[in-house]
């Protein structure tokens, strides 16, 4: 059960070495790990190069481009890493963000889940993010896997066509929707924790700006109006209290009014909305307990002890 990893990296010199050490310590190591330097202007590529001679499975691909970090560029960098694999044989392929710290048995455990369920197409652990008061998680949905650690069965990955370069983000959500559409199951392993050293999207502005952009993203993924409205109402208590939900709703409505194009193919949107209608029939209470491609639809879990806050414990 060989697996390969792709890591898009842009200006991650502060974090990438810890990620490399985590992969190097895995009890089941990857057949290949391609780190794609996506036009960084820091020392990230230099740090990776130091380890290439020590880790025979590690490779570096360097891309040249101008501009800042975008969701579409991450997908393009990932796909460049996939192309670099050529015809190499492997059974599983995964994205690993450049700021993730892993426990030594992480991939052994995730591969064990695949071995136990031949219909499992996408899996990964629970992401805990470094905050001001230690590590916490809003990644508690069991039928959804954070994009930072998505691992695909190869047949599933090829069925969904890999990551789409979506202009407003949600590349991991789109992959989950299409995996389910093609008959694959998606399941998280809550007992396998990973440690994210910087919250996704934290470089893109304040919380209200992030909420507005998230609303636009949900529109471009094809969310139904009623489902999204109830989602905003359900999440009204999340920080920033009330304003976060209002910001998302404003982004969603504005995108609708401006006719921002929906990024996913019509058949994928139709499948997503059929899932949402099914959840609506189940009632409001369980509506957001399980993911429908929205990474924010998750309860927050805070770690209570100093030992638990440290990766590797």
111-164: per-residue pLDDT in tens?
999 999 999 999 999 999 988 888 988 777 899 999 999 999 999 999 999 999
pLDDT of residue 302: 54
Residue 223, pLDDT above cutoff 50: yes
How far does CA 186 lie from the centroid of its chain? 13
CA distance 308 to 313: 6
Residue 30, pLDDT above cutoff 90: yes
pLDDT band at 105 (very low <50, low <70, confident <90, very high): very high
CA distance 193 to 231: 26
Residue 4, pLDDT above cutoff 90: yes
Percent of the chain with pLDDT over 90: 75
Residue 53, pLDDT above cutoff 60: yes
Average pLDDT over residues 162-188: 96
pLDDT of residue 298: 40
pLDDT of residue 296: 39
pLDDT of residue 204: 54
Higher pLDDT, 180 or 284: 180
pLDDT band at 218 (very low <50, low <70, confident <90, very high): very high
Q: Which domains does the chain have, with CATH numbers?
A: 3-202 (3.90.550.10), 205-281 (no CATH)
Question: What's the token pair of residue 216?
Answer: 């636009």
Weakest-pLDDT range from 41-45, 108-112, 130-134: 130-134
Of these ranges, 67-71, 219-223, 303-307, the one predicted with the greatest mean pLDDT is 219-223
Cβ neighbours for 87, distance < 8 A, ≥ 6 positions apart: none
pLDDT of residue 72: 82
| Digit-coded pLDDT (tens) for 246-298 | 999 999 999 999 999 999 999 999 999 999 999 898 865 444 444 443 443 44
pLDDT of residue 285: 46
| 3-class SS string, the chain | CCEEEEEEECCCCCCHHHHHHHHHCCCCCCCEEEEEEECCCCCHHHHHHHHHCCCCCEEEEEECCCCCCCHHHHHHHHHHHHHHCCCCCCCEEEECCCCEEECCCHHHHHHHHHHHCCCEEEEEEEEEEEECCEEEECCCCCCCCCHHHCEEEHHHHHHHCCCCCCCCCCHHHHHHHHHHHCCCEEEEEEEEEEEECCCCCHHHCCHHHHHHHHHHHHHHHCCCHHHHHHHHHHCCCCCCCCHHHHHHHHHHHHHHHCCCCCCCCHHHHHHHHHHHHHHHHCCCCCCCCCCCCCCCCCCCEECCCCCCCCCCC
Residue 309, pLDDT above cutoff 60: no
CA distance 265 to 276: 17
pLDDT of residue 229: 95
Q: pTM above 0.95?
A: no
| Digit-coded pLDDT (tens) for 54-102 | 999 999 999 987 666 666 889 999 999 999 999 999 999 999 999 999 9
Average pLDDT over residues 204-209: 78
């Amino acid at each position: 059960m060989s697996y390969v990893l792709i890591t898009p990296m842009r200006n991650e010199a502060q974090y990438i070495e810890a990620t490399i050490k985590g992969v190097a310590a895995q009890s089941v190591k990857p057949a290949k790990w391609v780190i794609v330097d996506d036009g960084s202007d820091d020392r990230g590529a230099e740090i990776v190069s130091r380890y290439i001679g020590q880790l025979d499975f590690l490779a570096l691909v360097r891309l040249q481009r101008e501009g800042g970090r975008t969701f579409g560029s991450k997908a393009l960098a990932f796909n460049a890493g996939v192309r670099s694999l050529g015809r190499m044989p492997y059974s599983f392929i995964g994205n690993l963000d450049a700021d993730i710290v892993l426990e030594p048995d992480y991939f052994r455990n995730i591969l064990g889940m695949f071995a136990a369920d031949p219909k499992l197409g996408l899996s990964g652990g629970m992401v805990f993010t470094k905050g001001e008061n230690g590590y916490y998680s809003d990644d508690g949905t069991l039928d959804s896997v954070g994009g930072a650690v998505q691992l695909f069965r190869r047949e599933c990955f090829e069925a969904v066509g890999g990551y789409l370069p979506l202009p407003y983000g949600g590349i991991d959500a789109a992959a989950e929707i299409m995996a389910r559409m093609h008959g694959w199951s998606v399941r998280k392993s809550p007992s396998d924790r990973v440690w994210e050293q910087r919250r996704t999207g934290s470089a893109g502005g304040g919380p209200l700006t992030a909420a507005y952009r998230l609303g636009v993203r949900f529109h471009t993924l094809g969310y139904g109006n009623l489902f999204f409205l109830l989602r905003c109402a359900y999440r009204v208590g999340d920080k920033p209290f009330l304003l976060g939900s209002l910001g998302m709703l404003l982004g969603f409505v504005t995108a609708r009014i401006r006719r921002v194009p929906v990024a996913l193919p019509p058949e994928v949107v139709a499948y997503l909305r059929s899932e949402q209608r099914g959840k609506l029939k189940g009632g409001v209470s369980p509506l957001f307990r399980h993911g429908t491609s929205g990474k924010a639809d998750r309860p927050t879990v805070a770690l209570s002890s100093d030992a638990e806050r440290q990766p590797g414990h």
